[in-house]
Amino acid sequence: MEILISGASVAGPALAYWLTRHGHRVTVVERAGALREGGYKVDIRGAAVDVIQKMGLLDQVRAASTDMRMARFVNGDGKQVATMDAELFGGRSSGDIEIMRGDLARLLHEITEDDVEYVFGDSITSLTEDADKVRVTFEQAPARAFDLVVGADGLHSNVRALAFGPEERYVHHLGHYISIFSVPNHRGLDREEMMHAAPGRTAGMYATRQMTEAKALFMFSSPELAYDRRDVERQRDLLAEAYRDQRWDVPRLLAEMGDAPDFYFDAISQVRMDRWTTGRIALVGDAACCPSPASGQGTSVSLVGAYVLAGEIPGVLAGERSGVLADETPGQGPFFGAYEEIMRPFAEANQKLAAGNLKGMVLRSRGQIRFQMFMLRLLPRLPGKDAMIRRVSEGIHRAATAIGLKDY
Ligand SMILES: Cc1cc2nc3c(=O)[nH]c(=O)nc-3n(C[C@H](O)[C@H](O)[C@H](O)COP(=O)(O)OP(=O)(O)OC[C@H]3O[C@@H](n4cnc5c(N)ncnc54)[C@H](O)[C@@H]3O)c2cc1C
């Protein structure tokens, strides 16, 4: 089949890899003018590690991992009040890998670029489905027809808006905002992060082993804010307003945000939909079921979703001959097999992580902050600390492995 994918970050290239392995011809259209290399730390855990291994990428992904050592918690004067091992801070179990999103996207692009047609700097403008094709128009390229179209274009998916309706129906604000951007590494951080918590406002800074610069990170609680997603100046103002009068390095980091070429600001949100497929069009990754950055599982859900979706798409000719397409499972489209049925419990288990994680990431009161710092200082001295530490990552590990991967 000829299959069009929108989005070349994690889910898109991973899906392209598996579709070409299954014998399909794939085109990926990406709105950005080139592969977006920047980003932030993301985790590959549980079943997603198995997917990476099946792709033959495990050694390269491990070699590109962030190699973080520790997190330091500082008070308003910059004084260290507690530390935490990096693996524990990231909630990682043995075998899980932390990598910069851009490095992962580059590796996925590298192993697909010879077999996949990548079109950068373009975007789909309309999708019209008829009996045997989806007719697609683009902002730049001439119109084309494809057998299937998949939206792997993230939280604010274009394909979702075109095929399923406006995002207001599906994107749920979790009561927090996140901002991240590059700053000079003025603290000389070496594979470590610094975190400063104030009530309702967390600020931090980290540098991985690959970085010459550092990343500034902000997470704050807030009801929904009104702004235009293309108006970066307004987003900078909203961030500055939220962190007015904050201490530690916050004023300096905010002063540097105007120079950052990769300023990112968004609501921490989840995508919840009853269906991820309609006729010949499907969604995968954040576009379908974004669990939010607070879950720490968006990347893993994307990798696993890509693997399952590609495996579940029956060959059209083989399907027609064997009657697979005629014999449609009730409630499911004929083109995407049991994709939704297999992925939904896994996606939902990972979405459930976000609410609990957020409570620990953005603390509500000074009392909570004092208690968390006290516990972090006490932990290394407690008998049975290993079991307690294991329990922290156990919930994430359970969700990350809550799927059995078929051998397609
Ligand atoms: C600040 C932050 C921190 C995060 N931390 C973690 C973490 O610790 N652990 C973790 O697992 N995950 C984390 N995530 C989530 C993770 O990055 C995503 O879940 C994951 O990247 C999803 O991959 P995706 O390919 O579905 O979507 P995305 O990575 O969002 O990629 C979508 C792609 O589609 C492109 N696109 C958008 N619109 C169009 C269009 N109209 N036409 C064509 N292309 C388009 C975009 O340019 C982009 O390349 C974090 C996310 C953020 C924002």
Contact 184, 300 (CB under 8 A): no
Report the nearest atom of ligand 1 relative to the CA of 12. Answer: 25
Q: What is the mean pLDDT of residues 226-234?
A: 95
The pLDDT assigned to 315 comes to: 62
**Average pLDDT of the chain to the nearest whole number:** 93
336 pLDDT band, cuts 50/70/90, is very high
| Other residues' Cβ atoms within 10 Å of the Cβ of residue 184 | 13
Report the nearest atom of ligand 1 relative to the CA of 300. Answer: 11
Is the CB of 178 within 6 Å of ligand 1?
yes
Q: Kindly give the distance from the C-alpha atom of residue 286 to the centroid of ligand 1, in angstroms, as a whole number.
A: 7
Structure tokens at 149: 């179209």
283 pLDDT band, cuts 50/70/90, is very high
pTM, 2 dp? 0.94
Is the CB of 9 within 6 Å of ligand 1?
yes
DSSP structure class, residue 44: E
The pLDDT assigned to 333 comes to: 58
Test site for ligand 1: of 68, 136, 139, 153, most ligand atoms within 8 A of the Cβ? 153
pLDDT tens sequence across 148-192: 999 999 999 999 999 999 999 999 999 999 999 999 999 999 999
> Which residues make beta-bridge pairs with 5?
28, 150
pLDDT of 387 above 50: yes
The pLDDT assigned to 384 comes to: 79
Residues with Cβ within 8 Å of residue 248, at least 6 apart in sequence: 74, 75, 76, 77, 78, 196, 203
Which range has the worst mean pLDDT, 35-39, 114-118, 270-274, 357-361?
35-39
Is the CB of 299 within 6 Å of ligand 1?
yes
Query: Which residue's alpha carbon is at the smallest distance from atom 23 of ligand 1?
Result: 10
Q: What is the mean pLDDT of residues 337-364?
A: 96
pLDDT of 325 above 90: no
Is the CB of 361 within 6 Å of ligand 1?
no
pLDDT of 329 above 80: no
DSSP notation for 126-153 = EEEE-SS-EEEEESSSPPEEESEEEE--
Q: Which domains does the chain have, with CATH numbers?
A: 2-364+393-400 (3.50.50.60)
Q: What is the mean pLDDT of residues 367-372?
A: 95
CA distance 363 to 271: 24
Test site for ligand 1: of 28, 30, 89, 307, most ligand atoms within 8 A of the Cβ? 30
